[in-house]
């Protein structure tokens, strides 16, 4: 599995500001509705339910919200870079500006975990995060995310 299998170019976005997790999750729901034909309200609700179990802000300005959705057949992702970091209740109490969301089929135990581990490894790479923060173009961000994984595999 590679990030290019999970993340479509149209599921990458740069936003100026986000005022809350709720607003972020609404945006992520809208993005996967457009890019993958998933019901946006269902995606939003699934993210909210998962976040209620515990915050998905992993530290260093990164959040990895994820949820399972009935009816999808593969793991999919969406990425948002926020120009103005906001409070996400991250483990290190730092504001978040890089958000990589994952949506997995309801019964996808191993595939979901593999995808989450792949995204987590990528987003722990400080060089990748620095490049993501230095670019404001969604196409470039998609290329950075998908190419960073390909070069590590080589």
Packed helices 138-153 and 126-133: angle between N→C axes, nearest 10 degrees = 160
Using DSSP bridges, classify how beta strands 62-63 and 57-59 pair: parallel, antiparallel or unpaired: antiparallel
- What's the token pair of residue 129? 């995060």
Backbone angles phi, psi at 15, to 5 degrees: -125, 145
Q: Give the residue numbers annotated as catalytic, written as ranges.
A: 66
């Amino acid at each position: 599995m590679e990030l290019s299998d999970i993340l479509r170019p149209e599921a990458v976005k740069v936003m100026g500001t986000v005022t809350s997790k709720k607003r972020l999750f609404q945006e992520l729901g809208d993005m996967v509705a457009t890019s993958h034909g998933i019901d946006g309200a269902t995606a939003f609700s699934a993210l909210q339910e998962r976040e209620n179990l515990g915050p998905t802000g992993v530290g260093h300005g990164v959040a990895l919200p994820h949820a399972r959705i009935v009816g999808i057949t593969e793991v999919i992702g969406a990425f948002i870079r926020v120009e103005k970091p906001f409070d996400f209740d991250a483990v290190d109490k730092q504001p978040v500006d890089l958000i990589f969301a994952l949506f997995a089929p309801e019964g996808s135990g191993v595939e979901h975990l593999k995808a989450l581990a792949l995204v987590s490894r990528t987003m722990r790479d400080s060089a990748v995060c620095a490049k993501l923060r230095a670019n404001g173009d969604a196409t470039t961000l998609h290329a950075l995310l998908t190419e960073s994984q390909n070069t590590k595999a080589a």
